[in-house]
DNA sequence: CGAGAACCTAGACATTCGTACAGGTCGTAG
DNA sequence: CTACGACCTGTACGAATGTCTAGGTTCTCG
């Protein structure tokens, strides 16, 4: 054993090509050691439990279990691990999701190896790293929008989802096992919360702003 | 000079991490040589003109100039080059776009190095390679495709656009300077063409399928 | 020229929507 | 405990919606 403290890293990404890139990029640095890889969130949990890394590089867009969910689950069991979100796009919502899940860093995949390594060392030391794009997106998200539709209740979302599918009030009532009067009440509330003139606009807004899933 | 004919490759991707992955993955094969990299479509055109590669690995989702557009432009000037589309997701439309642009292969980024190399050699020999997912998506697209909403007339699209904004029939009538009876007629036609139960679903479908600009 | 497509208009009808008002239960945070 | 928010039910009423039928114009293409 040469150095007493190499930073142990796990790379999580569903794309083999990306994992290769990380693998070889990190190889050039003596103080870093890639000790595991995973292709989705579930696998990440298994691998991390086993190899106990210091830092986890986590892709956000993955099948099965998404990056945010995986990060949250991982940190619940291993609060000492540092997660850096690595992603392709700089949507404001994604950034917030990741940080809220407990990621200490957020980088775009177009970072160079050196910058990535800096972020890894920083994370290991407990310092956060945000890519400029992510920081900008975060700032923008913090300023402008009460983010349309964030104040919808769970029930209202259910109603909205059915509404988007073209269901009428009575159909919605049937599916949810409630009175059609109640449905109308919910729809009315939804319209005012979304500032929509009618259900057509509400449906359009729901899709446009990804209010469902 | 060892072998007379190494396959000359250019990698195009906006993510540095991915390019590293490709760079190191290809390094292990004697008959392959990575002779250039580019981070977007425009750069790809420049680089390829300069280094004259045999095969181009082209990401489809890039800023400035998308992969499909770049592929088309590239092949117009260099019809002898073989382009393999490399992408993150298997949307049917993307696959069609890529192939229509002239790509000879379509792979997901989760392919392993060996599979990638097989595809490169195949492309160089003029043989196509489709990932199973891509092939499936293509087949599905070929079967289903009346491509929802393609048969809408110009007027119907105008009506639909206003409908999405939450306008009522009379409002739409006013904007378009036609009778509200006519609007209702158009809406009725739209609903049947989109197979929607009501204007709410029609609005949702319009947004979901990008039926408007 | 004739056929067809796209577009427009209109009346009648049942249905659905959206709102306003007036209450009720339930669980939880103060 | 009390207040509050989310959720539920109901009545009543005017307005909007969707379908039907039955025409009309304008333009293009064979």
Report, as an integer, the average pLDDT of B181-197: 91
Q: Which of B40, B168, B195, B203 to mutate to test the interface with A (most CBs of A within 10 A)?
A: B203
Q: What is the 3-state secondary structure (H, E, C) of chain B?
A: CCCCCCEEEEEECCCHHHHHHHHHHHHCCCCEEEEEEECCHHHHHHHHHHHCCCEEEEECCCCCCCHHHHHHHHHHHCCCCEEEEEECCCCHHHHHHHHHHCCCEEEECCCCHHHHHHHHHHHHCCCCEECHHHHHHHHHHHHCCCCCCCCCCHHHHHHHHHHHCCCCHHHHHHHHCCCHHHHHHHHHHHHHHHCCCCHHHHHHHHHHCCCCC
Q: What distance in Å separates the CA atoms of residue A109 and residue A130, rounded to the nearest whole number?
A: 12
Q: Which of A137-141, A158-162, A187-191 has the lowest mean pLDDT?
A: A137-141
CB contact under 8 A, B17 and A14: no
Structure letter (DSSP) for residue A210: T
Q: What is the pLDDT of residue A75?
A: 83
| Structure confidence at residue B142 (pLDDT) | 57
Please write the tens of the pLDDT for every residue from B12-31. Answer: 998 888 888 888 888 889 89
pLDDT at position A72 over 70: yes
Chain segment A84-134, per-residue pLDDT in tens:
988 876 665 667 777 777 888 888 887 888 888 999 999 899 888 888 877
Domain at A154-208: CATH architecture: Orthogonal Bundle (1.10)
Q: B48-52, B64-68, B174-178: which range is least confident on average? A: B64-68
Please tell me the distance in Å from B198's CA to the nearest CA on chain A: 6
**pLDDT of B199 strictly over 90:** yes
Across B78-90, average pLDDT: 83
The whole-number pLDDT of residue A203 equals 95
In chain A, where the domains are located:
7-143, 154-208
Within the 106-165 window of chain B, which residues sit less than 8 Å (CB to CB) from chain A? 108-113, 116, 163-165
Band of residue B69 on the pLDDT scale cut at 50, 70, 90:
confident
A147 pLDDT tier (thresholds 50, 70, 90): low
**D chain positions with any atom within 7 Å of a protein CB:** 6-12, 16-22
- Asked whether the predicted pLDDT for residue B167 surpasses 90, the reply is yes
A140 pLDDT above the threshold of 70: no
d(CA A36, CA A56): 9
Please name which of B12, B133, B34, B132 lies closest in space to residue B83, comparing C-alpha atoms: B12
pLDDT in tens, B87-114: 876 665 667 777 778 888 888 887 888 8
Indicate the SS3 state at residue A196: coil
CATH number assigned to the domain covering A7-143: 3.40.50.2300
Out of B18, B113, B198, the one facing A18 most closely (by C-beta) is: B18
pLDDT of B8 reads 94
Contacts of B99 (CB under 8 A, 6+ apart): B85, B106, B138
pLDDT at residue B135 greater than cutoff 60 = yes
Half-sphere CA count of B88, side-chain side, radius 13 A: 18
Distance between CA B106 and CA B90 in Å, rounded?
10
CA of B170 to C1' of D15 (A): 12
């Amino acid at each position: 054993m040469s150095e007493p403290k190499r930073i142990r890293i796990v790379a999580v990404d569903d794309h083999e090509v990306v994992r290769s890139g990380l693998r070889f990029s990190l190889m050039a640095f003596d103080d870093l050691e890639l000790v595991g890889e995973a292709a989705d969130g579930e696998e990440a949990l298994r691998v991390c439990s086993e190899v106990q890394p210091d830092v986890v590089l986590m892709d956000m867009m993955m099948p099965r279990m998404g990056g945010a969910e995986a990060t949250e689950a991982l940190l619940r069991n291993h609060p000492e691990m540092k997660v850096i979100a690595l992603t392709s796009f700089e949507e404001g919502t994604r950034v917030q999701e990741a940080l809220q899940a407990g990621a200490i860093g957020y980088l775009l995949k177009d970072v160079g190896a050196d910058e990535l390594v800096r972020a890894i060392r920083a994370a290991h030391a407990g310092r956060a790293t945000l890519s400029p794009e992510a920081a900008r997106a975060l700032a923008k998200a913090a300023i402008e929008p009460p983010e349309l539709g964030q104040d919808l209740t769970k029930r209202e979302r259910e109603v909205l989802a059915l509404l988007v599918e073209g269901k009428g009030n009575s159909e919605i009532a049937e599916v949810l096992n409630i009175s059609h009067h109640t449905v109308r009440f919910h729809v009315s509330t939804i319209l005012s919360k979304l500032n929509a003139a009618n259900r057509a606009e509400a449906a359009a807004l729901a899709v446009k702003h990804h209010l469902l899933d």
